[in-house]
Structure 1
Amino acid sequence: MSAQQGPEQAVTMRDVAERLGVSTMTVSRALRGRPGIGEETRQRVLAEVAALGYRPNKQARSLRSGGPSELVGLVVTNLANPFYARLAIGLEEVCLRQGARVVLGSTGGDQAVEREVVADLLERGVDGLVVVPSGHDHSHLGGEQLRDTPVVLAAGPPMGIEADCVLVDDFGGTRAACRQLIARGHRRIGFLGLPPSLWTGSERFRGYAVALEEAGIALDERYVSRHRGDSALAEETARAMLVLPDPPTALLTANNRNTVGALRAVRAGGYPVALAGFDDIELADMLDVPLTVVSYDPAEVGRAAAALLYERREAAAAAQPRRVIVATTLVDHPRPRQVRDDSSF
């Protein structure tokens, strides 16, 4: 420990990186003997570590002993949404092959919490971050704020910073689903959306609105709801739409939580309504209500994010940010065939 550091102020990997003007990832790789940095840089790091008296975090080191030697942080907004579980599986699949372990943090959609989670992960010396952003201010995810730790955004594009990102075709998928409902004769289509402040919310609403406009159908605000995905609220909203004097003949939902709410409303009221929704849902093929879903593999979002993260680590710092779009497809889940009861024979 240097003379400047008291016992209550242990030297961190960030301190070493700041003194040398390098990233925490570079310090981490030098200490672990990992490839990807020059020998001169490695020696500079080791010399500075010795001068400052840096000691690796014992807790993090014990977690890694006998297993993966690097950490990748994943920051998501809502652990209750199955999308994030699948995303994490895809991310971990690639990271484990690279000798890294994934550490998960959840923000509840609160940007202040997101800043705290990101800062905590950086302090723990993560070698990269994949973040599902909570809001529009991404300044805390910029290169200077992260001390050059590589970051990839998932499910939302960077705003105010330059960063790699992986997006789902939110606009195209919703537009295709709405077009299919229109092609099947529906003119009054209710939309259970997401807040316009969310990228997914604005893009999926745009897909719905464009499909209506292309078909010459005026957008009726009575048939539109844009709230954070919550099945109970979606059920309540769907019920309100379906008791209008001229109710929608079809409902289009912006995510799987809203689809669940719409299904409950339709089933409880026995309404003859067509349903289509973004995100596939488990057991959709077993429902007694026909359902069309905008399908894609959330694990592919995680795999693509991991690929970008590792490519960024090897790329020059000035390399242009990249954007990957995960494609969607429409899948029809028809009503299951009725099984005849032969018990009376």
Structure 2
Amino acid sequence: MSKKRATMKDVAARAGVGFKTVSRVINEEAGVSEQTAAKVRTAASELNYRRDMTAGNLRRAAGRTDSIGLLVASVDNEFDAKLHRAVENAAQERRVSVFSSSTDEDADREHQRALTLLARRVDGLVLMPSSGDLAYLQHELDLGTPVIAVDRPPKGICIDTLMVDNESGARDALTHLIEHGHRRVAVLAHLATLVTSAQRIAGARAAWSAAGLPADSLQVVDGVSTDEDTARSLDALLDGADPPTAVFAARNEIAVGAVRALQRRAQQHEIALIGFDDFGHADLLDPAVTVVRQDPARLGELATQRLFARLEDRSLPVEQLTVKTRLVRRRSCGCEA
């Protein structure tokens, strides 16, 4: 059974003050001593009270606001943007609005943005977890607010999760490069603290090990975020004593940076390249870029459908769903596509 959400009346009773005093503290108005304000804040924290930003608005009879929240890593990332649009489309079919924000892979920002959305009393939340602990959302789950994790598994809570098979996709990419005869390969990855990056690195290493190749001939560089990071990493690798003959860029933005870096060095036809996740105009480049294609739109659609299903039936068992990837062969890997 869902717990009851704490109100300002509950906070007032616990702090031993009047309702108006609590209102002034919550709304940061003057006229309350610091000692009394501290009592109110302590009581609010103990009750997990959160300001209701929709208190002055009308709601549906079922207590819903016809809105959901969406947190992605960055709305300017192509993968996140496609997922975002799919969530919007699925919500629109039910005449539900979507409030969204970016976490920038920052746990503190994620925490703050999630609580802001929940203060608006969204009916549910779809989020792409950062590496932070999400235990602070347990109170909302206990109150009956559904939370769905997409693209990455959550830490600290047990909720429905939809992910791509990152390890298998990376394994396919490295196996393909090995089949083309490459025995020195560089893997450029984002943050190894993120499960997606860790899984892709693991998949690459699994393929390398399965082929019986020496571990030190697979060079893994993580912490790559910007074009500058990618260029710096590739320059160091390619100018080294044993440069790689192929690169696996384990994120779409890293693949774009790798294309630019190889073009700058005039080595785009010498160094093989496979990227994880397709990106705009990848098929129009020279050479066209081979990619491990994900389906962010499908992830967004399934996540939103699951959220609405859980709104209708909160007793549904927790699900973990994995969506397969597909290796799209073009010419950057050495194929004559």
Distance 1:151 1:145, change over 3 A: closer
Specify the alignment match of 2:295 in structure 1.
297
Correspondent of 1:33 among 61, 64, 68? 61
Q: What secondary structure, in the 3-state scheme, does the structure 1 residue paired with 2:327 have?
A: strand
Q: Describe how 1:165-244 pairs up with structure 2 within 5 A.
A: 165-220=161-216, 223-244=219-240
Deviation at 1:31, TM superposition (A): 4.1
Gap runs ≥5 in structure 2: 1-7, 13-17, 28-46, 333-337
Residue identity in the other structure for 2:156: G
Moved more, 141-150 or 175-184: 141-150
Deviation at 1:8, TM superposition (A): 6.7
Give me the identity figure in percent: 34
Paired with 1:233 and 1:82, the residues of 2 have a C-alpha distance of 19
> Are 1:171 and 1:203, in contact at CA under 8 Å, matched by a contact in 2?
yes
Q: What secondary structure, in the 3-state scheme, does the structure 2 residue paired with 1:330 have?
A: strand
Specify the alignment match of 2:82 in structure 1.
86
Distance 1:204 1:123, change over 3 A: same
Distance 1:78 1:201, change over 3 A: same
- TM-score of the two chains, using structure 2 as the length reference: 0.79
Specify the alignment match of 2:322 in structure 1.
325
Deviation at 1:117, TM superposition (A): 0.7
Specify the alignment match of 2:19 in structure 1.
5
> Are 1:274 and 1:291, in contact at CA under 8 Å, matched by a contact in 2?
no
> Are 1:143 and 1:150, in contact at CA under 8 Å, matched by a contact in 2?
no
Paired with 1:89 and 1:214, the residues of 2 have a C-alpha distance of 39
Specify the alignment match of 1:274 in structure 2.
272
> Are 1:138 and 1:160, in contact at CA under 8 Å, matched by a contact in 2?
yes
Deviation at 1:145, TM superposition (A): 6.3
Specify the alignment match of 1:95 in structure 2.
91
**How many equivalent residue pairs?**
291
- TM-score of the two chains, using structure 1 as the length reference: 0.77
- For residues 53-75 of structure 1, give each alpha carbon's deviation from its aligned partner in whole angstroms, at most 9, with x where no partner exists: xxx9xxxxxxxxxxxx6111001
Paired with 1:222 and 1:308, the residues of 2 have a C-alpha distance of 39
Residue identity in the other structure for 1:101: S
Please report the RMSD computed on the Cα atoms of aligned residues, expressed in angstroms: 2.9
Paired with 2:190 and 2:180, the residues of 1 have a C-alpha distance of 25
Distance 1:78 1:221, change over 3 A: farther
Deviation at 1:234, TM superposition (A): 1.0
- For residues 293-317 of structure 1, give each alpha carbon's deviation from its aligned partner in whole angstroms, at most 9, with x where no partner exists: 0012211111011011111112234
